[in-house]
Amino acid sequence: MPTKSEHLLKQRIENVPQGPFNITSAFIEKAKGALLTDVNGRELIDFAGGIGVNNVGHCNPKVVTAIKDQADKFIHTCFHVGMYEIYVDLAAKLNDLAPGDFPKMTMLANSGAEAVENAVKVARYAKKRPGIICYENAFHGRTYMAMSLTSKIKPYKLGFEPFVPEVYRMPFAYCYRCPFGLTYPGCDVFCADYLEDFFITHVAPEATAAVIAEPIQGEGGFITPPPEYFPKLQQICQKYDVALIVDEIQSGAGRTGTFFAIEHWGVAPDLILSAKSLAGGMPLSALTGRTELMNAPHVGGLGGTYGGNPVSCRAALAVIEILLEDGLLERAKSLGRALRQRFMDLQKKYEIIGEVRGKGPMLALELVKDRETRVPATEAAKLLVEKCFEKGLVLLSCGNYSNVIRTLMPFVITDEQLDKGLSILEESLRELDRV
């Protein structure tokens, strides 16, 4: 007799297209904190966090209470029709939290991709220029503008051509696989200075509205630039009056131990994007930026029916309170230190781990077949994810070669759960090492 999950999988195959992919075979019945329970009653430790959505934990009590309370009052009016205080309150909080001592404004949308789309609209409208510079290894979403900015072809872009024009792609600060064949720090962070060459060979600054970058490239492999990178990049952008858009959709809401990851570089972007963990699992995104940019588009030029819906706004206000007032940002920092130590220990033991990188608890292991050649260990990464799932741990791979193991566990994970999850990871690495 088939299990409940097997029955549901059959129904999924019959009723849902293959396009929305599935990382595991699990059907989840309930979730709490850092634990998932599937329909068969199997308990799973969550190192994926709904792909970076559950920083404050599944069904955080404060978030649940906020959702229920708002649902009892009203669920939807459309901000364009009947405004509500919590939209304005959330905008004000994000304006305060975003780096920079200049006046800011915030608009709310539903998804990370929507935030990206609106950032491009704002930059193009304000600068009166068409060009957008993005990066190799970048991921910005699956709508057409966002997909055009995304780097990886398969599965995200294959067959969906043509893409949005006036998009230009340059190499990122991938020190482990330097696209220029240089070595940090002797390179003097040439990859940032290269933007000036890029303005000569690819698109003129007079035709460029913005550069868009992730502080830590999420789907691209948790690629983390050196300390000098973003200050240099910002300096060049300011020199040519080009807007710097920082995509914090995955790295924001405390994921690196600071509310915004770009704080680690001491840079104040012109526009900054939030989503994923911002509302504790509810659909919400935000575009925050310089007032003169945000206020440039004409009345009616920005918005959407569900953007900044009241229930999500209440959830986001609860998330911000949890992170800032309940000590969860500090927990994220201590979690990051513990993870890094364990990962560095694993790297000493297992030759397959080429590099440990990231910030705070946004950490990754890049797996390679050989540390000298650095050939990506794509199949090994896939097998590792499968082995861990079999043992009760959910984690994700990423990177252009799908050879990077990333961690996005909720910050509320207990020390016991963390240790058990890491033990499963090491056991699975040990098994791979024997193959």
Q: Which domains does the chain have, with CATH numbers?
A: 4-59+328-434 (3.90.1150.10), 74-325 (3.40.640.10)
User: What is the dihedral sign for C-alpha 89, 91, 94, 95?
Assistant: negative
Calculate mean pLDDT across residues 334-352.
97
List, in order, residues 6 or more apart from 232 with CB less than 8 Å away: 189, 192, 193
Which of 13-22, 79-88, 111-120, 246-255 is least confident? 13-22
375: Cβ contacts below 8 Å, ≥ 6 apart: 368, 369
Q: Residue 435: its pLDDT value, please?
A: 62
| Residue 45 in tokens | 């430790």
Looking at residue 346, its amino acid is L
CA gap 203, 113 in Å, rounded:
24
Q: Report d(CA 113, CA 381) in Å as an integer.
A: 27
For residue 403, pLDDT over 90 is answered with yes
Task: Report residue 121 as tokens.
Answer: 């609209």
- In angstroms, rounded to a whole number, what is the distance separating the alpha carbons of residues 383 and 279? 33
pLDDT above 90 coverage of the chain, percent: 98
pLDDT band at 1 (very low <50, low <70, confident <90, very high): confident
pLDDT digits (tens, 9 = 90+) for 142-179: 999 999 999 999 999 999 999 999 999 999 999 999 99
Query: How many CB atoms sit inside 10 A of residue 300's CB?
Result: 7
User: 135 pLDDT exceeds 70?
Assistant: yes
Tell me the one-letter amino acid at 163. F
Place of tokens 């050879």: 403
Q: pLDDT band at residue 2, thresholds of 50, 70 and 90?
A: confident
pTM: predicted TM-score of the whole model, two decimal places? 0.96
**139: confidence class by pLDDT, cuts 50, 70, 90:** very high
Span 99-121, pLDDT tens digits: 999 999 999 999 999 999 999 99
Is there a contact between 134 and 167 (Cβ–Cβ < 8 Å)?
A: yes
Run of H or E including 247? strand 243-247
Token couple for 46: 């969550």
Q: Where are the alpha helices (DSSP H) in 16-74?
A: 49-52, 61-73
Q: How confident is the model at residue 433 (pLDDT cuts 50, 70, 90)?
A: confident
Among 250, 226, 231, 227, smallest CA distance to 150 is for: 250
Mean pLDDT on 382-397: 97
In the sheet that 396-398 helps form, which strands lie side by side, from edge to edge?
353-359, 362-367, 404-406, 396-398
Q: Which helix (H) or strand (E) holds 125?
A: helix 112-127
435 CB burial (10 A radius; 0-12, 13-18, 19+):
exposed
Cα–Cα distance between 235 and 154 in angstroms, integer? 34
Q: For residue 321, what is the enclosing H or E element?
A: helix 310-325
Q: How far apart are CA 334 and CA 352, in angstroms?
A: 26
Nearest to 371 by CA among 391, 357, 351, 385: 351
What is the rounded distance in angstroms from the CA atom of residue 274 to the CA atom of residue 251?
Answer: 9
Helix (H) or strand (E) holding 423: helix 415-434
Report the C-alpha gap between 401 and 316 in whole angstroms. 34
pLDDT at residue number 310: 98
**Cα 159 from Cα 270, distance rounded (Å):** 34
Convert the pLDDT of each residue in 190-215 to its tens digit: 999 999 999 999 999 999 999 999 99
The reported pLDDT for the residue numbered 434 is 73
Q: What is the pLDDT of residues 26-79, one digit of tens each?
A: 999 999 999 999 999 999 999 999 999 999 999 999 999 999 999 999 999 999
